[in-house]
Chains A and B, each alone.
Chain A
Amino acid sequence: MTTLNDTIKTAKDSQGAKKTKRIPPEVSILLVLVGISIMFEILGWMFIGQSFLMNMSRLQIIVLQVSVIGIIAIGVTMVIITGGIDLSSGSVVAMSAMIAATFAQSSNWPKVLSPALTDLPFFVPILVGLAVGAMAGFVNGWLITKTKIPPFIATLGMMVSARGVARWYTDGSPVSGFTKEFAMLGNALDRWMPVVIFIVVAIIFHIVMRYTRFGKFTYAIGANPQAARVSGINIDRHLIKVYTIAGLLVGLAAMVAIARIKTAQAGMGLMYELDAIAAAVIGGVSLSGGRGRIAGTVIGALILGVMLSGFTFLRIDAYYQDIIKGAIIVVAVVIDQQRQNKRKKTT
């Protein structure tokens, strides 16, 4: 007669014992970031004779560079959490930038590309850029859910086509000569504007992923689409939303980029998709879906930025930079795998 209680007790003991609070994975990634920074600091004193960290303008450049990739990486993180992937971000940056830029031109620029549409208020090009990005994301999501082709293929197609659109739109010529208003944006807040936007976006989506149903659905679909479906989640509709938001963020990143560098080119954003995916993966987002956090991706993006800046600071050849960067991405995934295996073993 006591067996039921005993089982319950057993079950409780075996499960309850493991109730120890796990250290969030972000902490270990943060330690990596600190470690890398300290490493560059030491190497800096050893080989260059100056400080890596105690240099305000270098820090500013790092975070400015990180901001554009970081905004993209936040959308990519959500896509990867659903179990998908987005290869189109870099090309969509170029497409959004080119199209939006022609709406930002000032009429006293000699090489105006859209004569009828000059001197528009600053928010017009921004809205156009966001809309183009969101449209591209929507098309990605629509293709994936309606035609059932894998995300890899759908976004690969978009990657090639969007780059084509960016080139075709102005026949390959760059667009510049922005209105004062639009150009001001890039200089706003003593040039910290992109960073502020990045932080705001990160906070918003941290909250979205953690405290809204939208976020829970995103994790659920990546963890087990079948289970998500029988729980009453409309998977297709949700995936389209996620890809559209990811596209919107790419459009936003494109606007931040052209407002800062004050020109748009069809070659912009080359390989950004890979940097964004790398930031997410380094930040502990699992490529098999269902696991990962915005905070991790933000730190992942910072790690990439610090490395890039550190290599340049140490005057390491660009070829070596790429080799080392590639190796670090692989190591990040290996560490993630090991962490997951360990988790399994304790079952």
Chain B
Amino acid sequence: MNSAAVEEAVPVNGAIPREQSFEYVLEVDHVRKEFPGVLALDDVMLKVRPGSVHALMGENGAGKSTLMKVIAGIYQPDSGEIRLRGETITLETPLKAQESGIAMIHQELLLMNQMTVAENIWIRREPTNSFGFIDHSEMHRMTEELFERLNIQLDPEAEISTLSVANRQMVEIAKAVSFNSDVLIMDEPTSAITETEVAHLFDIIRSLRKQGIGIVYITHKMNELFEIADEFSVFRDGKYIGTHASSDVTRDDIIQMMVGRSVDQMFPKEEVELGDVLLSVKNLTLEGVFHDVSFDVRAGEILGFAGLVGSGRSNVAEAIFGVTPADSGTVWINGEEVHIKNPNDAIMQGMAFLTEDRKETGCFLSLDIQENIQSAVLHENFVNSGGFVDQAKLNEESEELCRKLRVKTPNMEESIENLSGGNQQKVLIGRWLLTHPRILILDEPTRGIDVGAKSEIHTLVTQLAHKGVAVIMISSELPEVLGMSDRVLVMHEGHVTGILDRSEADQVSVMNLAAQ
């Protein structure tokens, strides 16, 4: 890949090596953090060496993000000690943590959408001229310099709201790097980007490691662990389980440590008798976004969508579901043309659509789990003999789903905002399963979901296919697309470049079509 170019462009921090009288740049000892009803961190420890990548693994809700927020000064620990460069330190505010040399990429995008890329990166650190006024051209130049160093090609003056989720993630990465910190925390940085950007990110990480930065890297993807991490620590249910060198263990060892049990086969794909064409899309076009998109999905079929970021996969899904209706082209369900002008029409047609960005278009953050999971349900499915909504049955089925999906929560009345990222995602999947859809569109369904729950979700999807549901699955994780799909549709710059059968689809054939 292009690693040489990146490394060359990044000046390795001077000829003088950093003076290091400490073995660990960051040490966390006996840290405890309790939320009402949840002991999120129970006497945990973490030791990160300078110039190394330390992965943090654990199931959804294990306490990984909570610990990172403690280190970044966002949460205050109930007890315990944090040592930075060998010295004990208290981090009362995010500002204090930043000034002490800790930078963090958060699990959820945390950008000011109405502001520009440059403004987001340099907020609170804007360059000023001698009168104390912000020097916008200098800020622009600094951004370009940073992007050049990291090999990122984005317009510094673009407003964040006009960028794709993946590009927003790249902005977050650039912002975190721009602090030139000693400790860089990355909380699931790759959950929203495709493999090519992951490779790009890894180039960046390798050069940062060379500069002596200690990197804490959270991920649910095993292959990333082996590719980039030097060491890893495992947490389970808020407890520290252990630390090992990643070269010493196998995938199954780690899963055993994380889950405390072994997980069945990853992609439980089963051959399903395919029915008639359920959804048919013909010549769908949205000017400037995608063109002439046509495909069929049969009952019981899983159609995977592959392609690079910005290839228009999500836009096609949004068009079918009526979020941004297409300019031209037709959609047919069960052989009849339908006119879907908004998501409500789509839901009435038995469609369900799990969106890509759980925070922006998924969760109702101020509502509890129950309200969130039941927010899309068509009450016809839950009407009792008296003609009223059978709330008891609805609640029962919601709880059943949460159990199946392993949502980790004290109760159904917990605010969704307090759930860990992966558990929020599970609730959103539950929301759409509760609608008993005929056509299920999943955009990055297993984003941020741990290995155990992932295979659970794949099983659920397979079961739905068995029942004759037509599934469209968009995923940036190629193994997931290849493992689960009957056919794979590949897009490139808004055009369908090919639809491959399960037998002919593999890493190479898909990438060839995706990159052209």
A residues bordering B, Cβ < 8 Å?
1-16, 18-19, 207, 210-213, 216-217, 219-220, 222-224, 226-234, 286, 290-291, 343-347
- Per-residue CB contact flags for chain B residues 490-516 toward chain A (1 = under 8 Å, else 0) read 000100000000000000000100011
Q: Which of B9-17, B53-61, B103-111 contacts its partner?
A: B103-111
Which residues of B sit under 8 angstroms from A213, Cβ to Cβ? 124, 126, 128, 134
Besides A8-B152, A212-B132, 17 new A-B residue pairs in contact (Cβ under 8 A), listed by A number: A1-B1, A4-B2, A10-B309, A11-B309, A15-B153, A211-B133, A213-B124, A219-B112, A220-B123, A226-B110, A227-B110, A228-B123, A229-B74, A231-B123, A233-B95, A344-B324, A347-B164
Can you list 30 A-B contacts with CB-CB less than 8 angstroms, sorted by A residue number?
A: A3-B196, A3-B511, A5-B2, A7-B196, A7-B197, A8-B151, A8-B152, A10-B309, A10-B310, A11-B166, A11-B167, A11-B309, A15-B163, A16-B153, A19-B158, A212-B133, A212-B134, A213-B128, A213-B134, A219-B112, A222-B114, A224-B111, A228-B112, A231-B124, A232-B98, A232-B124, A233-B123, A343-B161, A347-B162, A347-B163
**Pair A11/B154 contact, Cβ less than 8 Å:** yes
Q: In the complex, A228 Cα to B114 Cα: how many Å?
A: 13
Which 8 interchain pairs have the tightest Cβ spacing?
A223-B112, A232-B95, A290-B114, A227-B110, A7-B196, A12-B153, A211-B133, A14-B310
Which residues of B sit under 8 angstroms from A19, Cβ to Cβ? 155, 157-158
Which residues of A sit under 8 angstroms from B511, Cβ to Cβ? 3
Which residues of B sit under 8 angstroms from A1, Cβ to Cβ? 1
Q: Given A15-B155, A230-B74, are A4 and B1 also a contact pair (CB < 8 Å)?
A: yes
| Interface residue B384 (Cβ < 8 Å from any Cβ of A) | no
**Pair A347/B112 contact, Cβ less than 8 Å:** no
Q: Given A230-B104, A230-B110, are A347 and B161 also a contact pair (CB < 8 Å)?
A: yes
Which residues of B sit under 8 angstroms from A7, Cβ to Cβ? 194, 196-197, 200, 308-309, 515
Which residues of B sit under 8 angstroms from A234, Cβ to Cβ? 93, 95
B316 CB to closest chain A CB (Å) equals: 14
**Pair B196/A216 contact, Cβ less than 8 Å:** no
B interface, over-half SS: loop
| Interface residue B199 (Cβ < 8 Å from any Cβ of A) | yes
Which residues of B sit under 8 angstroms from A343, Cβ to Cβ? 161-162
B482 CB to closest chain A CB (Å) equals: 17
**Other-chain contact of A290, B112, B157, B197, B309 (Cβ < 8 Å):** B112
Interface size of B by CB at 8 A reads 55
Q: In the complex, A230 Cα to B73 Cα: how many Å?
A: 9
Which residues of B sit under 8 angstroms from A219, Cβ to Cβ? 112, 114-115, 119
**Pair A216/B308 contact, Cβ less than 8 Å:** no
B residues bordering A, Cβ < 8 Å?
1-2, 72, 74, 93-95, 98-99, 104, 106, 110-115, 119-120, 123-124, 126, 128, 132-134, 136, 151-155, 157-158, 161-164, 166-167, 194, 196-197, 199-200, 288, 308-311, 324, 493, 511, 515-516
Q: Given A4-B200, A15-B154, A19-B155, are A216 and B134 also a contact pair (CB < 8 Å)?
A: yes
Which residues of B sit under 8 angstroms from A290, Cβ to Cβ? 112-115
Which residues of B sit under 8 angstroms from A2, Cβ to Cβ? 515
Q: In the complex, A16 Cα to B155 Cα: how many Å?
A: 7
Q: In the complex, A15 Cα to B288 Cα: how many Å?
A: 12
**Pair A11/B310 contact, Cβ less than 8 Å:** yes
Which residues of B sit under 8 angstroms from A345, Cβ to Cβ? 324
Which residues of B sit under 8 angstroms from A211, Cβ to Cβ? 133-134, 136
Q: In the complex, A290 Cα to B120 Cα: how many Å?
A: 13
B458 CB to closest chain A CB (Å) equals: 27
**Pair A15/B158 contact, Cβ less than 8 Å:** yes
**Pair B112/A18 contact, Cβ less than 8 Å:** no
Q: In the complex, A217 Cα to B151 Cα: how many Å?
A: 29
Q: In the complex, A102 Cα to B89 Cα: how many Å?
A: 55
Which residues of A sit under 8 angstroms from B200, Cβ to Cβ? 4, 7-8
Q: Given A220-B112, A232-B93, are A10 and B308 also a contact pair (CB < 8 Å)?
A: yes
Q: Given A343-B161, A345-B324, are A15 and B167 also a contact pair (CB < 8 Å)?
A: yes
Q: In the complex, A208 Cα to B399 Cα: how many Å?
A: 52
Which residues of A sit under 8 angstroms from B128, Cβ to Cβ? 213
**Pair A223/B115 contact, Cβ less than 8 Å:** yes
**Pair A220/B153 contact, Cβ less than 8 Å:** no
Q: In the complex, A234 Cα to B74 Cα: how many Å?
A: 12
A14 CB to closest chain B CB (Å) equals: 4
B65 CB to closest chain A CB (Å) equals: 12
Q: In the complex, A6 Cα to B126 Cα: how many Å?
A: 32
**Pair A18/B515 contact, Cβ less than 8 Å:** no
Chain A residue nearest in CB terms to B122: A216
Which residues of B sit under 8 angstroms from A14, Cβ to Cβ? 164, 310, 493
Chain A residue nearest in CB terms to B98: A232
Q: Given A7-B196, A213-B124, A216-B126, are A230 and B154 also a contact pair (CB < 8 Å)?
A: no
Which residues of A sit under 8 angstroms from B157, Cβ to Cβ? 19
Q: In the complex, A72 Cα to B151 Cα: how many Å?
A: 47
Which residues of A sit under 8 angstroms from B1, Cβ to Cβ? 1, 4
A313 CB to closest chain B CB (Å) equals: 39
Chain B residue nearest in CB terms to A9: B153
Q: In the complex, A190 Cα to B153 Cα: how many Å?
A: 56
Q: In the complex, A345 Cα to B161 Cα: how many Å?
A: 11
A239 CB to closest chain B CB (Å) equals: 16
Chain A residue nearest in CB terms to B72: A230
B11 CB to closest chain A CB (Å) equals: 21
**Pair A207/B95 contact, Cβ less than 8 Å:** no
Q: Given A11-B153, A15-B154, are A227 and B310 also a contact pair (CB < 8 Å)?
A: no
Which residues of A sit under 8 angstroms from B164, Cβ to Cβ? 14, 347
